[in-house]
A = this chain, B = another copy of it.
Amino acid sequence: MKSVSSGTHEVHFEDLALAALNQFLGQKRYSKVFLLVDKNTKIHCLPIFKKLIDHPIDATIEIKPGEINKTIATCVKVWQELSQQGGDRKSLLINLGGGVVTDLGGFVASTFKRGIDFINIPTSLLAMVDASIGGKTGVDLGALKNQVGVINQPKMVLILPQFLKTLEERQLTSGFAEMLKHGLIADKKYWNELIQGVDFFNAKHIQYSITIKNTIVEQDPTEQSIRKKLNFGHTLGHAIESYFLEKPGLKTLLHGEAIAIGMILEGYLSHELTGLSKLERDEIKKVMLTHFNKISFEPVDIEIILDLLQHDKKNEHGNINFVLLREIGDAAIDIKVPFALFAKAFAYYKES
């Protein structure tokens, strides 16, 4: 399957990915090769990966899994371990895991001794279709997601769909939310194809999603304009995700689960503000609720979520800018939303 070229690096798929990795490690003379995993990928992915790679790994560093550990405290542990294990400026870090491992590992590598090389091998569908392009690295600061990070590119990204077999269904579905988003913001035909059903273990749709994201990011790497389209569903979605992450006793929502709610809510706003038809608004809601369970929000929940929204990093000069749809496949950026509409959007989400 054809590699996707993302300016400074390539995204390779399946067999070609392994050939590219082994060739790269053979050519580059890294002083040490470190591997970053979490508890889950250590158990499920590392044994597979070790059979595929020709080059020795000097040390494997393990972090605790989950968004709740995507923190500066975890970074400190990884920086320390790299240092203790003799990591230097010519070391390489391979991040083998979901978005937490690739986001945090990318940030740790970008800042260790002012920057060492890293390679991302996303093992979750979400990380494959989302984190593999764009160079966003970073960690959360308390409830505020991705507050600390840098934009920096990996040396290469490897997509090996066989790792998806190690995932629970819920994790796969979470990643599917981002693929649906790619259809919604850029390609109605792709959206229609996706809602017919997808075989995740064939990299075809993953590659298509990556190509959509790459085309957008290449036109606007620093997110001044059209790259913002990728935030569809994320402005409210992030606030919802943060809220569930923080609230004691609450089940954590996966990223895609929160974004799916965000897309329904922002679909509602799109109908109100940017001309999305009622039919398409309702189609988005229906598709999302086919894949994602409905969550019940109390008025007090909504109040806190809207508070968190004020802190979202896309919030500039105190205004909250949304990406909304004109129609499925066409998104508008920098749309201001009257505050009163948020409660109505949640009411629309709630109604059956």
Contact = CB atoms under 8 A, between A and B. Distances in A.
Interface residues on A, range: 35 or more
B88 A317 contact: yes
Interface string A138-172: 10011010111111000000000000000000000
Nearest to A84: B311
A275 interface: no
Number of this chain's copies in the complex:
2
A147 B112 contact: yes
A202 interface: no
A151 B113 contact: no
A115 B89 CA distance: 22
Given A80-B141, A141-B76, A111 B318 contact: no
Interface string A62-98: 0000000000100110011001001011100000000
A114 B79 contact: no
B88 A147 contact: no
Given A72-B72, A114-B151, A150-B150, A315 B88 contact: yes
A115 B221 CA distance: 14
Contacts of A76: 72, 141
Contacts of A148: 79, 111-113
Contacts of A86: 318
A110 interface: yes
Contact of A147 (B31, B83, B311): B83
B111 A150 contact: yes
A117 B115 CA distance: 20
B111 A149 contact: yes
Nearest to A29: B317
B89 A150 contact: no
A113 B313 contact: yes
Contacts of A83: 141, 144, 147, 311
B114 A316 contact: no
Given A141-B79, A141-B83, A318-B31, A111 B114 contact: no
A136 interface: yes
A114 B136 contact: yes
Contacts of A90: 316-317
A299 to B, nearest CB: 25
6 smallest CB-CB distances across A and B, nearest first, come from A31-B317, A113-B313, A114-B149, A88-B316, A90-B316, A111-B148
Interface of A: 31, 72, 75-76, 79-80, 83, 86, 88-90, 107, 110-115, 136-138, 141-142, 144, 146-151, 311, 313-318
7 contacts: A72-B72, A79-B148, A83-B311, A89-B314, A113-B146, A113-B313, A114-B136
Given A79-B147, A80-B142, 5 more contacts: A83-B144, A86-B318, A88-B313, A111-B111, A114-B149
